[in-house]
């Protein structure tokens, strides 16, 4: 597996160099720079495109890509209006706009880069290589904890230029959960639950790696990433997402419809026991780390209460640091949707909801026959699930391989999907 053009080379070497960037302390800036490089390269290709450009090299932007672009621009407008309305000053307004360029914008730019000539198989292999690197490094990170080496090594001075939070520039060996001494690994992520999200996303990308050896390496390593993060959601999300997408991609089959009807019938009979079980699971989930759960819940409640102060356009920025009852966490963080209401108002909330819903519909339809669309649907459902646990717009620089796959699925012409038993031999992708 080797890159065959400029855009593939960029994506390939960027993914497999993740740990190099991380230990230098520049992972965040180089990854959002990648999004803008790919964007300007796409613009250059479009500018040079003529009627004589071959079909293989022709660039076409599809309507769903435009939905994402327009929606993210609306969020930028909400940011400006919110800052101006609250008269936060030029410095804070500029910082909020810089944050938009480095996080929200990536949610439109990386799917847009899927319009370039990037093979999904190349991304699957690169992700498997990164997962293997993680598997090799995990014992060394635990060894650092056993030897009581410093958990935090250093922070990159580049943060002073962008000023979006030291967490994205910290180089850590390990950490512990709020209110406990349980060791948790971050690897190249800024915090442990973010690693759980990445492990889940990489698991579904690795599933489609055509080479059996690399596929199993990617699967095992991505599961290890989720486990060492000790993220409760990452451990339950995998079976939930896998089952849900499996049903969605086979929803047109009579056997699936019969099975759903039978399960619904049983659920109606045992509804009382089922509700009790769900309550018990929820309580166990909460009590697994009660201090963390309490802070998350309080953040959501306060964000919703303060949203009423600026319901249309929001406050324009997060309030940081938060009060001690929130463990000094910024108000507007740890929940994408509550954070959107607080920072961007109902305008920003709708602007993000619309492309999510439309993308889900498009991918669900395409996933009936397209393998790439099915992988993108795995990614989107996983991301949607984690939006209720964290502010996912800030992590686009980490899960961008999934965003690119989603962009590729948007442009892909639907072909009959082949099962893994009929995949092309490895030589066909090298």
**Whether the predicted pLDDT of 268 surpasses 80:** no
Give me the percent of the chain exceeding a pLDDT of 90: 47
Sign of torsion over alpha carbons 310, 300, 401, 126: positive
How far is the C-alpha of 134 from the C-alpha of 104, rounded, in Å? 27
Task: Quote the mean pLDDT of the chain.
Answer: 84
Burial of 272 (0-12, 13-18, 19+ CB in 10 A): exposed
Question: What pLDDT does 425 receive?
Answer: 47
Question: What pLDDT does 277 receive?
Answer: 65
Q: What is the length of the chain? A: 430
DSSP-derived letter for residue 429 is: G
Long-range contacts of 287-290 (CB under 8 A, 24+ apart): 288/232, 289/177, 289/178, 289/179, 289/180, 289/232, 290/179
Cβ–Cβ < 8 Å for 196, 229: yes
Q: What is the pLDDT of residues 219-262, one digit of tens each?
A: 999 999 999 998 888 888 999 999 899 888 877 777 766 766 76
Looking at the DSSP bridge assignments, the partners of residue 172 are 152
How far is the C-alpha of 168 from the C-alpha of 148, rounded, in Å? 23
**Whether the predicted pLDDT of 328 surpasses 80:** no
Query: What's the mean pLDDT in 68-81?
Result: 93
Lowest mean pLDDT among 251-265, 278-292, 337-351: 278-292
Q: What is the pLDDT of residues 79-108, one digit of tens each?
A: 898 888 877 778 878 888 888 999 999 999
Structure confidence at residue 430 as a pLDDT band (50, 70, 90)? very low
Question: What pLDDT does 429 receive?
Answer: 45
Question: What pLDDT does 269 receive?
Answer: 75
Domain boundaries, the chain: 6-251+289-429
Closest CA to 111 of 57, 56, 66, 59: 66
Closest CA to 355 of 406, 414, 401, 408: 406
Lowest mean pLDDT among 139-148, 323-332, 347-356, 390-399: 323-332
Concatenate the DSSP letters of all residues of 170-196 into one string. EEES-EE-TTS--EE--TTSSSHHHHH
Question: What pLDDT does 330 receive?
Answer: 74
The pTM for the full model equals 0.88
Question: What pLDDT does 263 receive?
Answer: 66
**Whether the predicted pLDDT of 419 surpasses 50:** no
**Whether the predicted pLDDT of 428 surpasses 50:** no
Q: What is the pLDDT of residues 167-182, one digit of tens each?
A: 888 898 888 765 556 7
Question: What pLDDT does 257 receive?
Answer: 66
Lowest mean pLDDT among 65-74, 182-191, 350-359: 182-191
Cβ–Cβ < 8 Å for 127, 402: no
Concatenate the DSSP letters of all residues of 364-428 into one string. HHHTTT-HHHHHHHHHHHHHHHHTTTS-GGGGTTTSHHHHHHHHHHHHPPP-PPPPGGGPPPGGG
Question: What pLDDT does 385 receive?
Answer: 92
CB atoms within 10 A of CB 49: 13
How far is the C-alpha of 365 from the C-alpha of 373, rounded, in Å? 9
Query: What's the mean pLDDT in 135-160?
Result: 89
Q: What is the pLDDT of residues 3-18, one digit of tens each?
A: 999 999 999 999 999 9
Query: What's the mean pLDDT in 351-357?
Result: 95
Q: What is the pLDDT of residues 29-71, one digit of tens each?
A: 999 999 999 999 999 999 988 877 777 778 889 999 999 999 9
Closest CA to 203 of 231, 230, 182, 224: 224
Q: Does residue 331 sit in helix, strand or coil? A: strand
Lowest mean pLDDT among 150-154, 273-277, 315-319, 374-378: 273-277
Cβ–Cβ < 8 Å for 249, 367: yes
Q: What is the pLDDT of residues 356-396, one digit of tens each?
A: 999 999 999 999 889 999 999 999 999 999 998 888 888 99
Question: What pLDDT does 306 receive?
Answer: 80
- For residue 76, what are the CA distances in angstroms to 9, 52, 337? 31, 37, 16
Concatenate the DSSP letters of all residues of 294-326 into one string. HHHHHHHHHHHHHHTTSTTT--SS-B-S--GGG
**Whether the predicted pLDDT of 310 surpasses 50:** yes
Query: What's the mean pLDDT in 422-428?
Result: 47
Query: What's the mean pLDDT in 269-292?
Result: 64
58: left (phi over 0), alpha (psi -120 to 50) or beta: beta
Higher-confidence residue of 418 and 395: namely 395
Q: What is the largest CA-CA distance in the chain?
A: 66
Question: What pLDDT does 406 receive?
Answer: 96
Question: What pLDDT does 167 receive?
Answer: 83
Concatenate the DSSP letters of all residues of 121-176 into one string. HHHHHHHHHHHHHHHHHHHHHHHHHHTT--SEEEE-TTHHHH-S-GGGGEEES-EE
Closest CA to 108 of 363, 322, 351, 272: 351
How far is the C-alpha of 418 from the C-alpha of 415, rounded, in Å? 9
Q: Does residue 253 sit in helix, strand or coil? A: coil
Query: What's the mean pLDDT in 129-150?
Result: 94
Structure confidence at residue 397 as a pLDDT band (50, 70, 90)? very high
């Amino acid at each position: 597996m080797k890159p065959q053009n400029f855009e593939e080379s960029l994506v390939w070497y960027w993914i497999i160099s993740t740990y190099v960037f991380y230990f230098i302390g520049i992972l965040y800036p180089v990854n959002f720079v990648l999004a803008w490089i790919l964007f300007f390269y796409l613009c250059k290709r479009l500018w040079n495109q003529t009627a004589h450009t071959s079909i293989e090299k022709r660039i076409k932007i599809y309507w769903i890509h435009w939905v994402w672009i327009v929606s993210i621009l609306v969020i930028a407008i909400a940011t400006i209006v919110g800052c101006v309305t609250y008269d936060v000053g030029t410095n804070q307004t500029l910082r909020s706009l810089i944050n938009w360029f480095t996080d929200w914008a990536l949610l439109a730019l990386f799917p847009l880069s899927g319009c370039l000539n990037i093979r999904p198989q190349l991304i699957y292999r690169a992700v498997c290589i990164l997962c293997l690197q993680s598997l090799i490094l995990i014992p060394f990170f635990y060894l650092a904890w056993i030897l009581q080496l410093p958990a935090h090594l250093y922070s990159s001075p580049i943060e002073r230029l962008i000023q979006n939070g030291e967490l994205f520039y910290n180089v850590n060996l390990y950490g512990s959960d709020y209110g406990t001494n349980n060791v948790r690994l971050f690897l190249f992520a800024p915090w442990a639950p973010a690693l759980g999200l990445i492990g889940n996303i990489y698991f579904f990308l690795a599933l489609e790696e055509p080479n059996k050896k690399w596929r199993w390496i990617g699967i095992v390593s991505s599961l290890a990433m989720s486990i060492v993060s000790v993220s409760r959601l990452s451990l339950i999300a995998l079976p939930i997402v896998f089952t849900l997408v499996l049903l969605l991609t086979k929803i047109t089959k009579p056997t699936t419809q019969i099975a759903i009807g039978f399960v619904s019938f049983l659920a109606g009979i045992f509804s009382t026991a089922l509700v009790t079980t769900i309550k018990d699971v929820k309580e166990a989930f909460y009590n697994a780390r009660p201090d963390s759960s309490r802070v998350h819940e309080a953040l959501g409640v306060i964000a919703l209460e303060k949203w009423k102060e600026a319901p249309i356009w929001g406050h324009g920025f997060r309030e940081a640091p938060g009060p001690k009852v929130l463990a000094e966490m910024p108000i507007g963080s740890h929940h994408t949707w509550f954070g959107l209401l607080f920072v961007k108002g109902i305008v920003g909330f709708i602007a993000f909801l619309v492309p999510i819903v439309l993308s889900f519909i498009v991918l669900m339809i395409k996933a009936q026959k397209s393998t790439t669309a099915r992988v993108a649907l795995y990614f989107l459902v996983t991301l949607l699930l984690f939006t209720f646990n964290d502010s996912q717009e800030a992590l686009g620089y980490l899960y961008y391989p999934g965003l690119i796959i989603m962009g590729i699925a948007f442009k892909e012409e639907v072909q009959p999907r082949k099962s893994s038993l009929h995949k092309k031999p490895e030589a066909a992708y090298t």
